Amino acid sequence: MIAIIDYDAGNLTSVARALTHLGYKNQITSAAETILTADRVIFPGVGAAKATMQTLQKRGLNQVLTDFHRTGKPMLGICIGIQILFEHSEEEDAECLGLLSGRVKKYPMVGVGSPNPYKVPQIGWNEVYQTRAHAIFEGVPNPAHFYFVNSYYPEPASEDIMIGKTQYGLEFCSAIAQDNLIATQFHLEKSGRVGLKMLNNFLNF
């Protein structure tokens, strides 16, 4: 069973529908026992880092996610789910889970005053370039287009965990992998065929 972390965020049902479409039993849940006994965990959603962390802490899910990570079972973060894995976010000066070394930074207003300024938040399709081979990318073209909605981006302390990068005014890390932990800044559940392919790869990881 796949546990989808319920922390009052949007977009959880989109992930559940994608998993059901792929043929996998899943449950949106905040119950510690259900999460810890799941085969895999997915932490998706949209939202602000500080509000997300406050909800996780209120429900004790910050410790549950840390405990699940320690089991070695596969764990996937999507969008805000990649950002809260790091130590700190510039968004409202939020302290995050700290499962990964690094921080989350706000996009600069690159190109303001120019004919084609980059808008923040980034909303829409953008290319992801694979920086190293990983099972999550099996059968996925390099590069491939995925759907983004974000004003902030992760900056790992080490590039060794980066497996995908994207250009949006600057080059940033858009996918990471470290041991049992995989995360993307882009929305797999909204990215059509390639997004579903990556979700299926994770579910077989």
Catalytic residues: 79, 187, 189
- The full 3-state SS of 135-190, as one line of letters, equals HHHCCCCCCEEEEEEECEEEEECCHHHEEEEEECCCEEEEEEEECCEEEECCEHHH
In the DSSP assignment, the letter for residue 19 is H
> Over the Cα atoms of the chain, what is R_g?
16
61 token code pair: 């899910």
